[in-house]
Structure formats: structure tokens, C-alpha cells
Amino acid sequence: MRMKRLRSGKPVLVAMYAALATGLLPLAPTTGVRGLRLALIGCTAGCALWWALVSVRAPHKDGVVLDKSARREHPRPWLLAAALGFALPLASAAALVQAVGPDSEQDRWMSDVHAAGGGTYEVHVDRVLGSPHMTGKETDYGYQIAADVIVTLRFDSGSRSVTVHDATTMGDLAEGTTISVAYAPSRPGLGVRNIDSVFSRFPFDMVWIWALALPSAITSAVFSAVPLLTRVDNRMDQLRTFRPDVHGPAGLILAVGVCLLLPGAFFHTSPWMYWPLALAAATTPWLALAWVRRRTSDPGVTR
């Protein structure tokens, strides 16, 4: 039973960091990506509930530890403190990354394509319409050429020939040339567009988020662990055992943060609306931390 309790907290950290990783990466907003993120969030919540259940059923004097390396004889609470401290800024950053959405007309169209189960595909040119012309862009591979072309695409209703306007490629553009196009096989009405993979726009809004998140995470981890290394703080001893008055409200605060991100995950949301929602969600990890610190530092609260 003791080993079962020791193992019960580790999956919470693993699932949490997996969810944070998918939230921080600039993944296309496809149905699969949204499903993966929701599945990892659900897995984290499920592991936390299991840890709470095992903790409640365990003898009160032998609390559940979140880090497997912790032992009664040689406790290392600073490892858990560092892991949680490192995760706090990452959680806020992951919430802000979700606000980096489709701002331009092209981005919104691509979001519709991904929502319909479509994506980007490599196809061969069947015929070039008119004379190809240079766009003025150049890379190490040569000059970019553009022209209207006809390609054959597979839709759910069958294959059909489609005209792609201003299709681009590096070098020659002729019959048999491979180009990248985006479309949704299930929704022909969305149309087909050429995707310029060489000059595609990188979501630079994420750069400043990452630039702030990593140093903040390192700083938070250090400041969380140092008091425990110097043995001037024993809060982690209280946090290892589930307590409804401490972990319950903190979990509800984090759940509210997740709910604030759901409108942008499933619906088109104006940046003027979604950025405030993401900012509000980014504060919830710190609000949960403030609640936990208040409850664990209250002299009237006993284990």
C-alpha cells in the first residue's frame, strides 16, 4: 500500500508537464491537436483525483508524496518544490500561447481548414495557365516563380480538377512540379490555396512569451527550492497529503483557468476578447499558489 501511495503523485507531474509542453508548442489548431491537449489536461485531472483518493484512504500519519525520490529517512522536498516552481510560469505562458491565434484573413481561413479536418498537401501540377512570372523573392534555391495552375485533388466526394491561383515554387514552374496546397477534403466550399512554405509567417507573438517564460521558470524553481534546501520552510510536508481545504479550492481555480481557454479552442474568437481571457487564465496558477501559501502558513490550520 505504501508503494502505491508513493507512486500515485508522480503521474500528476508527468501528465502536467506533458500538457504544458503541448500548450507551449506552436502546433496547428487541428482537431487532433485540440483533442491531444484536452486529453492531457483530462489525464492530469484524473491523476490528481487518483492521488487525492489514495491520500484520503491512506493512514493520515503517512502522507502521500508526489516525488518518488522522497523517502522518510532522506526527504528531498526541494525537488518537488523546484518542479512545481518551474511549472508555474510555464502554465501562464501556455495560456498566453493559446491567444496567438488567427489574426489575418489567411490565418482565419487556415483555422477553418484545420477545423474541418483539412491540412497542407503536396500535389503535382497538371497544367500551367498563362506565363509564369517572378515574384521578386529569392532564396538560396533560386527565384520564386508564380502562376495559375490546375491540380487534381481528392475530396470526400471524389477527385476533381481545381484551379489554384498564384501558385508559387522556387525555380521552374511547369507540368509535374510539386506545390503545397491547403484545403479540406470534407468541405470543398472552403476553396484551395497555395501555401508558400518558404516565406510562411512565423507566429512571432510566441517569441516574447517564450523569452519571458523560460527565465521566469528557472527563477521560480530556484526561489521555490532554496528555502527547503536551507531548511527554513516546511510547507511541502503539508502539501504532500491531500487536504480538501487546500488542494480543493486550488484545483477549482486552475479548472476555471482551463475553462477560460475553451472558447478560443473551439470557436473563432476576436483577439480583443481572447487576449483578456488568456491573460485571466494566466493568472490562475498564481492565484492557486497564493491560496495554498495562505492556507499552509495559517497557524490555525493543522494537518
pLDDT in tens, 32-67: 777 888 898 889 989 888 888 887 776 554 444 454
Examine the pLDDT at 252 and tell me if it is beyond 50: yes
* pLDDT for residue 296: 77
* Cβ atoms within 10 Å, residue 88: 18
- Which long-range contacts (C-beta less than 8 Å, at least 24 apart) are formed by 12-20? 12/44, 12/47, 12/48, 12/51, 12/66, 13/66, 13/67, 13/83, 14/47, 15/40, 15/43, 15/44, 15/47, 16/44, 16/87, 17/87, 18/43, 19/43, 19/44, 19/94, 20/87, 20/90, 20/91, 20/94
pTM reported for the whole predicted model: 0.64
**pLDDT band at 300; cut points 50, 70, 90:** very low
Length of the chain: 303
Examine the pLDDT at 270 and tell me if it is beyond 60: yes
Strands 178-183 and 158-170: unpaired
DSSP, residue by residue, 146-207: EEEEEEEEEETTEEEEEEEEEEEEES---TT-EEEEEE-TT-GGG--EE--SSSPPP-THHH
Nearest to 265 by CA among 32, 1, 71: 32
Instruction: Check if the beta carbon of residue 80 is closer than 8 Å to that of residue 67.
Output: yes
- d(C-alpha 59, C-alpha 96), whole Å: 40
- d(C-alpha 301, C-alpha 246), whole Å: 10
- d(C-alpha 12, C-alpha 50), whole Å: 9
Instruction: Give per-residue pLDDT as tens, 140-164.
Output: 667 788 888 999 999 998 889 999 9
Instruction: Check if the beta carbon of residue 70 is closer than 8 Å to that of residue 245.
Output: no
Q: What are phi and psi of 224, to 5 degrees?
A: -80, -35
Strand partners, 186: none
- Residue for grid cell 483539412: 118
> Within its chain, how far is the Cα of 265 from the centroid?
11
**pLDDT band at 249; cut points 50, 70, 90:** very high
- d(C-alpha 10, C-alpha 123), whole Å: 46
**pLDDT band at 302; cut points 50, 70, 90:** very low
Instruction: Give per-residue pLDDT as tens, 69-98.
Output: 444 444 567 777 888 889 999 999 988 888
**pLDDT band at 1; cut points 50, 70, 90:** very low
Examine the pLDDT at 247 and tell me if it is beyond 90: no
